[in-house]
Structure 1
Amino acid sequence: MRNYIYTALLLFIVSSTVFGQSPDWSVNENKFQYTMSFEGFLNVDGKDLTSTSDKLAAFVNGECRGTASPIYVSNEKKYVVYLTVFSNTDNEIVNFKIYDAENNTVKNVEKTKVFENNKHYGDLFQSYSFASPALRSESEITDFSFKDLKTAKTIQGSQITLYAGKETNLSALNALFELSPGAKLFIGAANKISGSNTIDFTNPVQVQVLSEDQSVVKQWTITVKLGSAQFYKKDAVCYAGGVIKVLYEENNTQADLVKDGTVISTQNILNGQTIFNNLEAGKYTVSVGGIDKEIVINLKQQ
Structure 2
Amino acid sequence: MKRIIINIIVFFFVGITVYGQEPTWSVNENDFEYTMSFVAFLNVDGITLTSTNDKVAAFVGGECRGVANLIYVSNKDRYYAYINVFSNINGETLSFKVYDSTNDRVVDIAKTVNFEINGIYGDLGQAFSFASPLLNHEAELMSFNFKDVTISNSNIQDNAMTLYVDNGISLSTLITIFELSPGAQMFTEGQKLISDSSVLDFTNPVMVEVLSEDESTLNEWEITVSYNAVIGNLIFYKKDAVCYSGGAIKVVSSENGSEVHLLKNQVVQAVQTISNGEVVFTSLGEGDYSIKVNGFEKQININLKE
Provide TM-score, normalisation by structure 2. Answer: 0.71
Quote the residue 2:277 is aligned against. Answer: none
What do residues 211-252 of structure 1 show as CA deviations (whole Å, max 9, x unaligned)?
111111111011101125478xxxxxxxxxxxxxx6211158
Letter in 1 for 2:56: L
Give the percent of matched residue pairs that are identical in Structure 1 and Structure 2: 50
Instruction: Give me the whole-angstrom Cα distance separating, in 2, the residues matched to 1:181 and 1:129.
Output: 16
SS, match of residue 72 in structure 2: strand
Quote the residue 2:118 is aligned against. Answer: 118
8 A contact 1:19–1:101 mirrored in 2: no
Instruction: Give me the whole-angstrom Cα distance separating, in 1, the residues matched to 2:209 and 2:103.
Output: 35
Higher relative contact order (CA 8 A, sep 6+): 1
Distance 1:251 1:14, change over 3 A: same
SS, match of residue 200 in structure 2: coil
What do residues 19-44 of structure 1 show as CA deviations (whole Å, max 9, x unaligned)?
63112211122222221110011111
Letter in 2 for 1:26: S
Taking the TM superposition and a 5 Å limit, the aligned residue runs for 1:158-237 are 158-229=159-230
Instruction: Give me the whole-angstrom Cα distance separating, in 1, the residues matched to 2:255 and 2:97.
Output: 63
Instruction: Give me the whole-angstrom Cα distance separating, in 2, the residues matched to 1:211 and 1:275.
Output: 44
Quote the residue 1:57 is aligned against. Answer: 57
Letter in 2 for 1:218: N
Distance 1:251 1:36, change over 3 A: closer
Instruction: Give me the whole-angstrom Cα distance separating, in 1, the residues matched to 2:255 and 2:142.
Output: 30
Distance 1:96 1:87, change over 3 A: same
Number of corresponding residues: 239
1:109 aligned to 2:88? no
| Cα-Cα RMSD | 2.7
Distance 1:16 1:170, change over 3 A: same
Quote the residue 1:241 is aligned against. Answer: none
Quote the residue 1:129 is aligned against. Answer: 129
8 A contact 1:36–1:85 mirrored in 2: yes
1:272 aligned to 2:251? yes
Quote the residue 2:304 is aligned against. Answer: none
What do residues 184-224 of structure 1 show as CA deviations (whole Å, max 9, x unaligned)?
11112111111222211001111111111111111101110
8 A contact 2:140–2:219 mirrored in 1: yes
Segment of structure 1 superposing worse, 157-166 or 137-146: 157-166
Letter in 2 for 1:48: T
* Structure 2 unaligned spans of 5+: 1-12, 240-247, 257-306
Structure 1 residue ranges, 4+ long, deviating more than 6 angstroms after superposition: 13-16
8 A contact 1:19–1:102 mirrored in 2: no
Taking the TM superposition and a 5 Å limit, the aligned residue runs for 1:1-302 are 18=18, 20-152=20-152, 153-229=154-230, 247-251=234-238, 271-275=250-254
Instruction: Give me the whole-angstrom Cα distance separating, in 2, the residues matched to 1:49 and 1:19.
Output: 20
Instruction: Give me the whole-angstrom Cα distance separating, in 2, the residues matched to 1:131 and 1:274.
Output: 55
Instruction: Give me the whole-angstrom Cα distance separating, in 1, the residues matched to 2:21 and 2:124.
Output: 30
* Structure 1 unaligned spans of 5+: 1-12, 232-245, 253-268, 278-302
Distance 1:113 1:177, change over 3 A: same
Instruction: Give me the whole-angstrom Cα distance separating, in 1, the residues matched to 2:181 and 2:215.
Output: 12
What do residues 93-136 of structure 1 show as CA deviations (whole Å, max 9, x unaligned)?
11111112222322211111111221111100010111111111
Q: Using the TM superposition, give the Cα deviation of residue 148 of structure 1 relative to its aligned residue in structure 2, in angstroms.
A: 2.0
8 A contact 1:20–1:101 mirrored in 2: no
8 A contact 1:56–1:99 mirrored in 2: yes
Letter in 1 for 2:236: E
Instruction: Give me the whole-angstrom Cα distance separating, in 2, the residues matched to 1:93 and 1:224.
Output: 48
Provide TM-score, normalisation by structure 1. Answer: 0.72
Letter in 2 for 1:248: I
What do residues 269-293 of structure 1 show as CA deviations (whole Å, max 9, x unaligned)?
974125599xxxxxxxxxxxxxxxx
